[in-house]
Amino acid sequence: MAFTIFFATSTGKTEDVADRLKELLPGTEAKDVDSIGGVDDLTSAEALICCVPTWNTGADEARSGTAWDDLVQEIPDQDFAGKPVAILGLGDSSGYSDFFCDAMEELHSAFVSAGAKVIGKTATDGYTYDDSKSVIDGKFCGLPLDEDNESELTDQRLNAWITQIQSEA
């Protein structure tokens, strides 16, 4: 299954993680959703890894504060039936502990509406935060990463997650 990585960023951290993912998945492309042609680029991928930071603290909608906010409106009307979609979020579990990686859930909800097969859900073990909209039925709906406080854990989290999504896709 060929993954395409889609990311958006404000200060570069999500782009850096997308680049590291690309290195770990040889042959994979990483595309900034701010410069793709539109939602068709997402639907034409065989399998997706969507990397999203959270900036709009506490918001119900447009939680990312990046180009994902427009795309997320369009995704539910597309046909992603059975297509594997993995979601990765960047956030700050200390400074924004009540809203940790909230934007992941907004993407999750949009892709579920579009019929996608969401893969790569992860246990909350090992994370310290107060609340997150991205915890569904006791699990994160993707992989949260905290480059602000726990960057030393990112490589091991990424490696374990890649093994997981490759087996689930």
Site string for ligand FMN, 77-116 (x = CB under 6 A): -------------xxx---x--xxxx--------------
Residues 120-159 that bind ligand FMN (CB under 6 A): 147-148
Out of 2, 10, 73, 149, name the contact with ligand FMN by CB under 6 A.
Answer: 10
Write the CB contacts of 106 (distance below 8 Å, at least 6 apart in sequence): 61, 63, 64, 68, 72, 133
> What is the smallest separation between the CB atom of 9 and ligand FMN, expressed in angstroms?
3
User: Closest Cα to residue 31, out of 19, 44, 47, 43?
Assistant: 19
Residue nearer to ligand FMN on the CB measure, 11 or 128: 11
58: alpha, beta or left, given left = phi > 0 and alpha = psi -120 to 50? Answer: left
Residue nearer to ligand FMN on the CB measure, 13 or 108: 13
Backbone angles phi, psi at 86, to 5 degrees: -110, 140
Backbone angles phi, psi at 131, to 5 degrees: -155, 155
Sign of CA dihedral 60, 66, 69, 72: negative
Beta bridge partners of 143: 88
Q: Does 53 bind ligand FMN (CB under 6 A)?
A: yes
> What is the smallest separation between the CB atom of 82 and ligand FMN, expressed in angstroms?
29
> What is the smallest separation between the CB atom of 91 and ligand FMN, expressed in angstroms?
2
> What is the smallest separation between the CB atom of 12 and ligand FMN, expressed in angstroms?
5
Q: Which residues bind ligand FMN (CB under 6 A)?
A: 9-14, 53-55, 57, 90-92, 96, 99-102, 147-148
